[in-house]
Amino acid sequence: MQTKKKMDLVNALNLKIEYIREYKEHGCDITGDLIMVRYYHAMKGDPRFQSFGSNLPYRYIDKAKELAKTTYPDCETMLSMPDLVCRI
């Protein structure tokens, strides 16, 4: 039951997995079989985005990681900010 609630929250945050072969953004050069979850734009739309002391980025990172691990349990996190990139 707890997992269903967590996945409902992930869906409410509008996070989606993208399949990519290379990630060459923000000074990174990662290649291979990758998945990416772009959570930054969803986070910017949150009313608490610019609140001082908010743990909002970590909440979005956790939910993005949860989505990736639920879909691909053996995925390896390569980058977590500003996008979540995992090797599958």
Confidence at 32, pLDDT banded by 50, 70, 90: very high
Confidence at 86, pLDDT banded by 50, 70, 90: very high
Q: Given a cut of 50, is residue 1 above it in pLDDT?
A: no
Q: Given a cut of 90, is residue 23 above it in pLDDT?
A: yes
Mean pLDDT for the chain overall: 86
Domain locations along the chain: 2-87
β-bridge partners, 22: 31
Q: Given a cut of 70, is residue 5 above it in pLDDT?
A: no
Q: What is the pLDDT of residue 35?
A: 96
* First CA to last CA distance, the chain: 27
